[in-house]
Each structure stands twice: as structure tokens, then as C-alpha cells.
Amino acid sequence: MTQICSLFFSVVRAKEIKIKLGILLQKPESAIDLVIPYNEKPEKPAKTQKPSLDEALQWRDSLDKLLQNNYGLASFKSFLKSEFSEENLEFWMACEDYKKIKSPVKMAETAKKIYEEFIQVEAPKEVNIDHFTKEITVKNLVEPSPSSFDVAQKRIHALMEKDSLPRFVRSEFYQEFIK
């Protein structure tokens, strides 16, 4: 009897999640939501200036300082790619871009893409977050907001700080730079 009740509640819960995630799959209400604004004068990409030795030395102790520096970010990303472990950084960067979105329709579309690429089970670039964090994130996606991925992003940030940053600092990428 207990197993039947448990199975029933699992099915009900699965249907609830399916309905809530279905919201993310809806098409935009009008074509205007799909229009990408065109800048007449395209912005030139910012030149990546090599940081001073002092700045680079601060990266050892602060993932945030590393991520805020374009040169540091590019170096860190190259290092992670060389280890085939760039999904955490890509997820973190996707979350940063997501927070800047103003249109609710665009936000929902982007939330869906981030979920499918990084969060869902067997995602192509699935990040390593615990079940509790994943559940909170899924609940937050019922009504997407700029903070929908905050909990997951903080977990991934902590993971990069604890694991990826120390490996980067010991790597030739970083050691050659600070010589």
C-alpha cells in the first residue's frame, strides 16, 4: 500500500513538473518578441589588455578578480578547455548574461536553453550540482526571473573556487604568465 501511494505521488509530482516546464516551451505571443535590435554602429569588442603582475597574482586568491578580468577569464577558459572541463565556467557565464535580459519572453527562452544545456539530467554540458540545488532551480524556472539560477550559479562558483582555480594556479597557463 505504501509503495502504491509513493508511486501515485511520484506520478503526480512528475506531472506537476512537466506542466511547469511546459511553460518554458511556449512560443512567444507575438513576432515582435523575436526581433533582435540592430545597432547601426556595431560596438567594437573590448581589447583584452594584459594585466599587471600584481593583478595576475591576485587571481590566486580570488576567483572573482580572475572572472572580472577579460584576460584572466580568457586564460581560465583556455585552461579549462584543455582539461575538457569548461562546462562550469560556461554555465556561470550563461547565468551572468541571463541576468542582463529585460524581456520576459527572451528570459523564458534563455532559461529553457540554459536548463537544457546545463541543468537537466544528461544535458550536453551538465554541471555537477546536488539534487536539492537542481530542485530549487527547477522551481525557480516556473516563473523565470533574473535570479532563477542564482543558487545553482553560487554552487558552481564555489566549486570552481575550490577545485578549478587551484588547478589553474598550478598550471603552466598561469605559471608562465606570472614569470
Residue 95, all three cell numbers:
547565468
Contact 149, 157 (CB under 8 A): no
Domain ranges of the chain: 53-176
CATH class of domain segment(s) 53-176: mainly alpha
Which pLDDT belongs to residue 111? 97
| Mean pLDDT for the stretch of residues 110-126 | 96
Banded pLDDT at 177 (limits 50, 70, 90): confident
| Mean pLDDT for the stretch of residues 18-44 | 41
User: Using CA atoms, how far apart are residues 147 and 143, in angstroms rounded to an integer?
Assistant: 10
Query: Is pLDDT of 12 > 50?
Result: no
Each as own residue / partner, the long-range contacts of residues 65-70 (CB below 8 Å, 24 or more positions apart, any chain) are: 66/165, 66/168, 67/92, 70/46
Banded pLDDT at 32 (limits 50, 70, 90): very low
Query: Is pLDDT of 72 > 60?
Result: yes
Banded pLDDT at 5 (limits 50, 70, 90): very low
CA of 115: how far to CAs of 61, 80, 154, in Å? Answer: 30, 21, 16
Task: Output 9 or 52, whichever has higher pLDDT.
Answer: 52
Q: What percent of the chain has pLDDT over 90?
A: 68
Which pLDDT belongs to residue 48? 61
Nearest residue to 91 via CA among 139, 64, 124, 122: 124
Which pLDDT belongs to residue 44? 34
Residues of 87-97 as b/e, b for ≥16 C-beta within 10 angstroms?
bbbbbbebbee
Q: 19-23, 58-62, 126-130: which range is least confident on average?
A: 19-23
Each as own residue / partner, the long-range contacts of residues 87-91 (CB below 8 Å, 24 or more positions apart, any chain) are: 87/118, 87/125, 87/126, 87/127, 88/127, 88/128, 88/156, 88/159, 88/160, 88/164, 89/160, 89/164, 90/118, 90/125, 91/118, 91/125, 91/127, 91/152, 91/153, 91/156
Give 75-115 pLDDT, tens digit per residue: 999 999 999 999 999 999 999 999 999 999 999 999 999 99
Banded pLDDT at 49 (limits 50, 70, 90): confident
